[in-house]
């Protein structure tokens, strides 16, 4: 216990969110069941999406009887989420591979849409490898013996702007290779796939690389490649055609450098699932094949679907191939994978009672965290958020790093937080509350003024362009404890309300339609800020944050 407390303390001192070990998931992890979305139907079938949250660009592997999934995290910290499942349907957040994002000074402020793009996870030499691209700096690798962490510090594998979407391959002779794409915004070229040779431990490319496929004519914006080898063929699974309207390709060759044959192996077809592509082929211990991929749902982000997959004439067929042409279309419901056993229902964490030594694993900051932003007060069973003024005097909350957020967990849901505000009486303008974040945002919050604490409703349109907030005073508060709530309804319409007693809620009367962020869906979360600097801050004690159905 002493060592565990020391470990947690060190992480808090460094401004990190604890990447819990697998054995520590019992409170808010592997047994968490969402009240707003469960993919497991309880009758041997599942419904898509299996993860109804923004886990963009998923990649996955099986190691023994366990499945692990990683996804893009962009500027959010901790980054590089690692999820775990026993059956490909029931998932929980296991931890994060990146507790602080380098270059550290660069990511000490929000860099929306930058940072960690599409990663790949593999298991080589009794060790987990995650390769991830930063489109402005290059491709890095981190390693771990335990997928729950700790993970090694990032090592730069390949420097350069616009080099993205890496995936390694360990060949049968022990040679290692790296396939990747290019981001046109940085590299000045896109729609091509390249392969580089890696050194023996996979930490450095050792050549200039070779372009092995050009998609300009038939497969524009081909990207997100995943590397496999089967029956003597090298396979590159890759999406093309754009995230909302594209298709899933399979390329194959007997030579790692090509030439590669091409086939479309899944598209939308007559289904309602747009742009079904970019993901991972995994098999089960019983020999079944499955494919995890994302669907872009705009304001709700890129959610994760699971598709059945078979091999036909050494080509993958993903989804259901109703006409037998070798090209499948995605399913909305299907029988669960056969993994030899039945496992309990589990979903990624959402609600948080803040009774443990660290926040739930669903929470991420908008930049590298500082130790003065929060304290897990286990004596009171609260998350204490200290008001903080960034040194660069941000124009609005979009540019403020100390905003603690999580992904939307469903199309419709309700979130409520119980907050007690203790402002510094020598300051004016401290503010804490519940926010919906995106290119435009809105929040309901408590704000300190000279004569007391006021409840305010704030909106900011085109926040990413530096526009000013519009703030409306709702009422002066007689109590420092308030229950803040937002109901998210169809098409991401958000209605904020508040309560003094936790029973009767009053609406602000100002509906707000949530917007996506840069490459991500809208998020929901908490903040505590101030507009001036003295020798101490006020703080907000968040007793709990609960996600429930809209009723």
Q: Per the structure block, which two tokens stand in for 200?
A: 């023996």
**For residues 169 and 271, what is the distance between their CA atoms, to the nearest angstrom?**
33
C-alpha closest to that of 430 among 411, 446, 406: 446
What is the rounded distance in angstroms from the CA atom of residue 7 to the CA atom of residue 166?
A: 32
Phi, psi of 10 (to 5 degrees): -60, -40
- Examine residue 372 and say whether the peptide bond preceding it is cis (omega within 30 degrees of 0): no
Tokens representing 165 are 């979407």
Place of tokens 């077809």: 269
The Cα 497–Cα 517 span in angstroms is 24
Q: Please name which of 397, 432, 437, 396 lies closest in space to residue 417, comparing C-alpha atoms.
A: 432
Compute CA 377 distance to the chain's CA centroid, rounded to the nearest angstrom.
26
- Of 133, 115, 113, nearest to 518 by C-alpha is 113
Listed residue (398, 510, 414, 389) closest to 456, CA to CA: 510
Q: Is 223 an active-site residue? A: yes
Q: Which residue, 474, 543, 458, 476, is CA-closest to 508?
A: 474
DSSP 8-state class, residue 400? -
Q: Which two tokens stand for residue 290?
A: 């499955």
C-alpha 542: how far from chain center: 23
Dihedral of CA atoms 55, 61, 67, 68 in degrees, nearest 10, equals -40
Residue 439: φ, ψ to 5°: -55, -35
Dist. CA 111–CA 285, nearest whole Å: 41
Among 75, 108, 223, 515, the one annotated catalytic: 223
Half-sphere exposure of 172 (CA within 13 A, CB side): 8
Q: Compute the chain's Rg from CA coordinates.
A: 23
Closest CA to 65 of 282, 333, 279: 282
Close Cβ partners of 26 (under 8 Å, ≥ 6 residues apart): none
- Please report, for residues 4, 23, 542, 543, the alpha-carbon distance to residue 378 in angstroms, rounded to integers and kept in the order given: 15, 20, 12, 11
Structure token digits, residue 243: 């995230």
Task: Exactly one of 57, 114, 134, 350 is catalytic; name it.
Answer: 57
Catalytic residue numbers read 57, 223
């Amino acid at each position: 216990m002493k060592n565990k407390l020391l470990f947690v303390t060190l992480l808090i001192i460094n401004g990190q969110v604890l990447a819990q070990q697998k054995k520590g998931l019992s409170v808010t992890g592997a047994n968490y069941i969402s009240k707003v979305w469960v993919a497991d139907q309880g009758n041997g079938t599942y419904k898509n999406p299996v993860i109804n949250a923004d886990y963009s660009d998923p990649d996955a592997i099986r190691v023994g009887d366990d499945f692990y999934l990683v996804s893009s995290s962009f500027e959010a910290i901790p980054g590089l989420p690692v999820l775990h499942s026993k059956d490909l349907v029931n998932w929980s957040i296991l931890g994060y591979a990146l507790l602080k994002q380098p270059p550290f000074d660069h990511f000490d402020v929000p860099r929306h849409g930058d940072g960690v793009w599409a990663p790949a996870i593999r298991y080589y030499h009794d060790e987990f490898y995650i390769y991830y691209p930063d489109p402005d700096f290059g491709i890095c690798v981190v390693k771990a013996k335990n997928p729950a962490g700790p993970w090694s510090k990032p090592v730069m594998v390949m420097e350069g702007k616009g080099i993205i979407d890496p995936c390694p391959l360990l060949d049968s002779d022990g040679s290692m290779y790296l396939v990747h794409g290019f981001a046109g915004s940085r590299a000045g070229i896109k729609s091509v796939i390249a392969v580089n040779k890696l050194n023996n431990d996979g930490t450095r490319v050792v050549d200039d690389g070779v372009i092995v496929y050009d998609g300009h004519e038939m497969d524009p914006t081909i990207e997100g490649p995943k590397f496999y080898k089967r029956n003597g063929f090298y396979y590159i699974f890759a999406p093309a055609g754009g995230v909302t309207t594209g298709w899933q390709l399979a390329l194959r060759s007997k030579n790692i450098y090509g030439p590669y044959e091409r086939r479309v192996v899944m598209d939308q077809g007559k289904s309602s699932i747009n742009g079904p592509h970019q993901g991972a082929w995994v098999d089960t211990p019983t020999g079944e094949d499955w494919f995890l991929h994302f669907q872009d749902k705009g304001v709700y982000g890129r959610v994760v679907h699971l598709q059945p997959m078979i091999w036909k004439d050494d080509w993958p067929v993903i989804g259901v191939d109703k006409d037998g042409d070798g090209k499948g279309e995605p399913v909305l419901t299907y029988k669960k994978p056969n993994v030899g056993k039945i496992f309990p229902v589990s979903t990624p964490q959402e609600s948080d009672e803040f009774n443990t030594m660290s926040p739930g694993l669903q929470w991420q900051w908008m930049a590298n965290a500082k130790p003065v932003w929060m304290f897990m007060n286990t004596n009171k069973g609260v998350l204490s958020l200290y008001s903080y003024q960034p040194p660069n005097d941000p124009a609005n909350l979009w540019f403020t790093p100390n905003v603690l957020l999580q992904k939307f967990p469903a199309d419709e849901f309700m979130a409520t937080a119980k907050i007690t505000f203790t402002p510094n009486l020598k300051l004016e303008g401290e503010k804490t509350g519940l926010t919906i974040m995106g290119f435009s945002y809105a929040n309901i919050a408590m704000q300190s003024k000279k004569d007391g604490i006021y409840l305010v409703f704030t909106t900011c349109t085109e926040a990413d362009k530096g526009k000013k907030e519009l703030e409306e005073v709702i009422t002066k508060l007689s109590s420092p404890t308030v229950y803040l709530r937002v109901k998210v309804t169809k098409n991401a319409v958000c209605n904020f309300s508040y309560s003094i007693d936790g029973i009767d809620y009053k609406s602000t009367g100002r509906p707000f339609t949530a917007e996506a962020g840069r490459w991500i869906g809208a998020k929901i979360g908490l903040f505590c800020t101030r507009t001036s600097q003295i020798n101490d801050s006020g703080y907000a004690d968040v007793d709990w944050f609960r996600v429930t159905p809209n009723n």
